[in-house]
Amino acid sequence: MQGRRAPVWCVWALIAVVGLVCGLAAPGPASAQSSRLGGFLATLAPADLVPGADAFGSVAGDPPAAEVLRGGERVGVAFLTTDAANSIGYSGKPIDIVVGMTLEGVIAGAVLVEHHEPIVLAGIPEHRVIDFIAGYRDLNVVEVASRPLALAPVDIVSGATVTIMVIDDSIKRAAIRVAHSRGLGGLAPVATAAPGPRRTIDPDMRETADWRSLLGDGSVRRLKLTVGDVNDAFAVTGNQKAIDRPERGEPGDVFIDLYVTLATIPTIGRSLLGEAEYKNMLDRLAPGQQAILVAGNGRYSFRGSGYVRGGIFDRIQLIQGEASVRFRDRGYKRLGDLAPADAPRFKEIGLFLIPEDAGFDPAEPWRLQLLVQRATGALEKVFTTSAIGYIPPDRYILTETPVAPPAAVAAPLAGYDDTPLWQRLWQTRVVDIAVLAVALAVLTAVFFFQDWLVRRPRLANRVRTGFLIFTVVWIGYYANAQLSVVNVMTFANAMLTKFRWEFFLTEPLIFLLWLAVPAGLLFWGRGAYCGWLCPFGALQELMNKLAKLARVPQVTVPWGLHERIWPVKYVLFLGLFGLSFHSLALAEQAAEVEPFKTAIVLRFAREWGFVAFAVALLAAGLFIERFYCRYLCVLGAALAIPGRLRMFEWLRRYKECGSPCHRCAGECMVQAIHPDGHINPNECLYCLHCQELYYDDHRCPVVIEKRLRRERRLGKQSQSMASGD
């Protein structure tokens, strides 16, 4: 083992490049001081928001808003949608729209001032979305507030469904809240209710119930739409193209049979999920966080396709009061069946975690809104909505009468837990953390004592195969701890913007793996992760082992071709990395070149195109071992670049390696050994096979020659001793 010193700045650069990213937290409610409205107003003309206006007043109030003036007189207000409503879009970042509203409660103008939506991904000109926003001019907010808030059957821009849904919802909700707060259009300010009895979910209920009982007492709510119902709903829109394309089938045929419930109510969760799955759900939840269960049959899927392309479910949203919640794939788990014996079989079942910052109250009524779409052309769609209302049954509710606080409190309240969220999340996953820590310790021992292990090839092969199985089954499919190049790109962006470690610590297992990666790169290079800890890589290798047992012919890529196509992954990575600085959301979409999300995180529960791509890569790996790792893995490329800074050379070589002996090069599973005998650390996956050969006196020509010389010497000594006798 030979040492090689790396400059100190290189080590710090390495630590800065690789790290964990789970996403930045959404901004909280804005105050007049923290609102960005003033900055945006400085770039706009007052007449853009209220015709004839010539000045803006100062930003004040809750929610923050500025008076719009004409000749010194107040003619309206201007506000930012993100200050008053949830406006998180397809990209996972806010869509900022400044809206002008008259004193009569009528929207007079709306301007898109900032967004990070990957609209151009589908070839959609931005002006189409801008024109859509301009269409809210003359919308009477008083009329909107008088009826249940739902997505209007407007001409949604095809290809930007989620973006438009967010815009529509945030403009209406923000406008209603601002109108109430200022008494515009005759809307009375919302009075603060006096403290009354507080409703909470009883956490101590232990009984379970069958499906029929849960459905009968309202624990599970149902929405059934027939083909006739859907055709009638589109007829109401007045869109002739939609009317002319009715849903096929008999009017009584089932279009969707949808069921929803609050899975975190103990009786409901235990009954429908079973004890094991219920416990798994609780382990994923932060304290106080809730989850809903949605199940459906019929020809229409409630999941939609948005979560496939960008991780967001575009056909359902949860609404409670003025708040709306959309679900992303990181808070989703696909289920196979429900636990009750009398429960029907469902085509799709999903468990959705409600974000902690949603302000959701599990004891209060809410509804799940379903978006139904109909194509009216190659790139055009029309939408209608339906909803399931949910009220937790009284038997699950505890009513507490609030006690008036004392006039002064001399000390903090007893039992108050101010532990940061990330620490609580680590506490809830202590067993998983321990398992992963032990696995990392075992792998470290394998590397440090590799000379002892590789001298025992049979044991080494069993250890490696067992660890790969653990990586696929536990790290991949159980813990979903598959790293991605998206983590690298987002970490780099966070370093340039608002870096906070708390965001990265909210996923303990991902964080531990990313913590192990820099150490592995410094000691052993890329192969420590790619060769042992990557679930998709391990899956490829195990499938190839089975293919060899089945005598599937193996293809050896000619060296000249091999060394010309392995740079493809580096080109892909540099392209994605550069794109991330222009638009992180767009780069995340392009990162679908990684099949990890399809094959590991979502377990192939995606649209056929993504599944076909992942299956094609795995199929190629049956003939060319670790095909994806060799030529296309952008994460591998991202790790290989700083991996050049490794401080030690642990892999032993003979001077004869490469001239004349090529056995290691011929048996290297990813052809990481050059014809001249040296190992390319950028490509090496550290499988240790070449080290097994290094000590094998029946396969390595160099060691074979040493053994033969030793045997000849011992033979001559034996003959001499025999002659002496």
- The answer on 181 and 209 residing in a single domain is no
- The answer on 104 and 80 residing in a single domain is yes
**What residues does 319 pair with on adjacent strands?**
324, 367
Within 10 Å of residue 117's Cβ, how many Cβ atoms?
26
Please report where in the chains the tokens 């992303």 appear, as a residue: 328
Rounded CA separation 684/682 (Å): 6
Is 477 within the bounds of a domain? Answer: yes
Instruction: State which of 186, 208, 225 marks the end of a domain.
Output: 186
Residue 462 makes CB contacts below 8 A (sequence gap 6+) with: none
pLDDT score at 410: 37
Is 1 within the bounds of a domain? Answer: no
Is 404 within the bounds of a domain? Answer: no
Spatial contact of 260 and 221, defined as CB atoms under 8 Å apart? yes
**What residues does 332 pair with on adjacent strands?**
352
Residue 224 makes CB contacts below 8 A (sequence gap 6+) with: 254, 256, 257, 258
Written as six digits, the tokens of 32 are: 């007049």
Rounded CA separation 431/713 (Å): 57
- The answer on 269 and 347 residing in a single domain is yes
Is 598 within the bounds of a domain? Answer: yes
In 3D, which of 258, 225, 257 has the Cα closest to residue 374?
A: 225
Is 146 within the bounds of a domain? Answer: yes
Rounded CA separation 552/445 (Å): 34
Rounded CA separation 31/48 (Å): 24
- The answer on 637 and 588 residing in a single domain is yes
Is 643 within the bounds of a domain? Answer: yes
- The answer on 556 and 670 residing in a single domain is yes
Q: Work out the angle at residue 686's Cα, subtended by the Cα atoms of residues 680 and 692, and round it to the nearest 5 degrees.
A: 105
Is 626 within the bounds of a domain? Answer: yes
Is 511 within the bounds of a domain? Answer: yes
- The answer on 432 and 393 residing in a single domain is no
Residue 230 makes CB contacts below 8 A (sequence gap 6+) with: 247, 255, 372, 384
- The answer on 216 and 176 residing in a single domain is no
Rounded CA separation 40/79 (Å): 10
Rounded CA separation 65/59 (Å): 5
pLDDT score at 297: 93
Spatial contact of 388 and 221, defined as CB atoms under 8 Å apart? yes
Spatial contact of 31 and 64, defined as CB atoms under 8 Å apart? yes
Residue 574 makes CB contacts below 8 A (sequence gap 6+) with: none
Residue 541 makes CB contacts below 8 A (sequence gap 6+) with: 468, 625, 626, 669
Q: Work out the angle at residue 515's Cα, subtended by the Cα atoms of residues 1 and 627, and round it to the nearest 5 degrees.
A: 70
Number of domains comprising the chain: 3
Within 10 Å of residue 198's Cβ, how many Cβ atoms?
12
Low-confidence ranges of the chain (pLDDT < 50): 1-29, 119-123, 150-155, 157-160, 192-193, 407-419, 421
Q: Which long-range contacts (CB under 8 A, 24 or more apart) does 594-598 make?
A: 594/484, 594/485, 594/486, 594/633, 594/634, 594/635, 595/536, 595/628, 596/482, 596/484, 596/535, 596/536, 596/635, 597/329, 597/482, 597/484
Instruction: State which of 152, 186, 220 marks the end of a domain.
Output: 186
pLDDT score at 534: 93
- The answer on 369 and 220 residing in a single domain is yes
- The answer on 182 and 205 residing in a single domain is no
Q: Which residues of 470-483 are buried (b: 16+ CB within 10 A; e: fewer)?
A: bbbebbbeebbbbb
Q: What is the 3-state secondary structure (H, E, C) of 426-487?
A: HHHCHHHHHHHHHHHHHHHHHHHCHHHHHCCHHHHHHHHHHHHHHHHHHHHHHCCCCCCHHH
- The answer on 586 and 486 residing in a single domain is yes
In 3D, which of 278, 288, 232, 281 has the Cα closest to residue 255?
A: 232
Instruction: State which of 398, 415, 443 marks the end of a domain.
Output: 398
Written as six digits, the tokens of 36 are: 């960005």
- The answer on 388 and 269 residing in a single domain is yes
Please report where in the chains the tokens 């004409």 appear, as a residue: 70
Q: How many helices (H) and strands (E) does the chain have?
A: 32, 18
Report the Cα 125 to chain-centroid distance in Å: 27
Spatial contact of 615 and 593, defined as CB atoms under 8 Å apart? no
Rounded CA separation 418/415 (Å): 9
- The answer on 82 and 225 residing in a single domain is no
In 3D, which of 447, 450, 460, 593 has the Cα closest to residue 525?
A: 447
Please report where in the chains the tokens 């004349």 appear, as a residue: 660
Write out the residue range of the structural domain in which residue 290 sits: 200-398
Q: Work out the angle at residue 507's Cα, subtended by the Cα atoms of residues 329 and 497, and round it to the nearest 5 degrees.
A: 85
Q: Tell me which DSSP letter residue 56 carries.
A: E
